[in-house]
């Protein structure tokens, strides 16, 4: 079983090196790492090129376009996606492979700890997963900075996923389409990564008010 890691990026020179260093330290290495440059104007690409990664360009701006570009480029049967400000623990890929080795799941996600925010803020992602499961009648959702899915399920849904990331949350939308296709999503509470809480720091109202509203909007659109 081989794993491709996809990292959408847009002006991530402050974070991308730590992210790639954490992938470099994996107990079981990624079989390929794809950095998707989404029109960066800083040193993101220059830094990424110092590592053993594939750098590709996605000219259409937006996280969904960049994510889809990476998924379509990936060669291997498991595709893991993280954000550029994520630091993964040394056993992250090892745990992903173990989860998928049963052959009983199509997608996987886990909690996020915000390393530059108070610890209490990190419980938000666990609460979010719980609420999303209730709203989707027991079906699991996923968290964008920490998720993986099979190439097989992606091929089933790639022409159906929503493309406007101003109307939907890309991770919730992806989960909804996986569930509709009969896929099984697993939440591994031990598959925890660290990410920056910079978006919360810069705009708390957006994260705690606009973000949940758009989450429920995403669900409503698919009803």
**Tens of pLDDT along 7-38?**
999 999 999 999 999 999 999 999 999 999 99
pLDDT at 46: 98
pLDDT in tens, 73-112: 999 999 999 999 999 999 999 999 999 999 999 999 999 9
Question: Residue 101 contacts by C-beta under 8 Å, 6 or more apart in sequence?
Answer: 1
What is the three-state SS of 101-138?
CCCCCCEEECCEEECCCCHHHHHHHHHHHHHHHHHCCC
Dmax over CA atoms of the chain, in Å, equals 45
Over residues 135-156, mean pLDDT: 89
Strand-pairing partners, residue 55, are 35
d(CA 87, CA 170): 21
pTM: 0.89
Q: What is the CATH number of the domain that holds 47?
A: 3.90.550.10
pLDDT band at 126 (very low <50, low <70, confident <90, very high): low
Beta carbons of 28 and 78 less than 8 angstroms apart: no
- Report the domain count for the chain: 1
Question: In this prediction, what percent of the chain has a pLDDT beyond 70?
Answer: 80
Q: What is the 3-state secondary structure (H, E, C) of 28-58?
A: CCCCEEEEEECCCCCCHHHHHCCCCCEEEEC
User: Six-digit token pair at 109?
Assistant: 């996600």
For residues 152 and 77, the answer to whether their CB atoms sit within 8 Å is yes
Residue the block writes with tokens 């493309």: 163
Domain housing 27: 3-221
Among candidate residues 204, 149, 200, the one with its CA nearest the CA of residue 178: 149
């Amino acid at each position: 079983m081989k794993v491709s890691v996809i990292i959408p990026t847009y002006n991530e020179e402050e974070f991308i090196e730590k992210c790639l260093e954490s992938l470099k330290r994996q107990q079981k290495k990624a079989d390929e790492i794809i950095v998707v440059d989404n029109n960066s104007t800083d040193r993101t690409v220059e830094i990424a090129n110092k590592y053993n990664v594939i750098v590709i360009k996605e000219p259409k701006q937006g996280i969904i376009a960049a994510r889809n570009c990476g998924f379509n480029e990936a060669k291997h049967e498991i595709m893991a996606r993280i954000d550029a400000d994520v630091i993964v623990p040394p056993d992250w890929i090892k745990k992903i492979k173990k989860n998928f080795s049963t052959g009983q799941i199509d997608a996987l996600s886990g909690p996020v700890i915000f390393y530059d925010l108070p610890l209490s803020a990190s419980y938000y992602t666990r609460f979010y997963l719980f609420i999303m499961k209730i709203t989707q009648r027991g079906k699991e959702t996923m968290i964008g900075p920490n998720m993986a899915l099979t190439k097989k399920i992606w091929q089933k849904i790639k022409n159906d996923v929503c493309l406007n990331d101003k109307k939907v949350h890309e991770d919730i939308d992806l989960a909804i389409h996986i569930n509709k296709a009969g896929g099984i999503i697993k939440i591994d509470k031990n598959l925890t990564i660290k990410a920056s809480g910079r978006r919360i720091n810069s705009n708390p109202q957006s994260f705690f008010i606009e973000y949940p509203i758009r989450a429920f909007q995403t669900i409503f659109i698919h009803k």
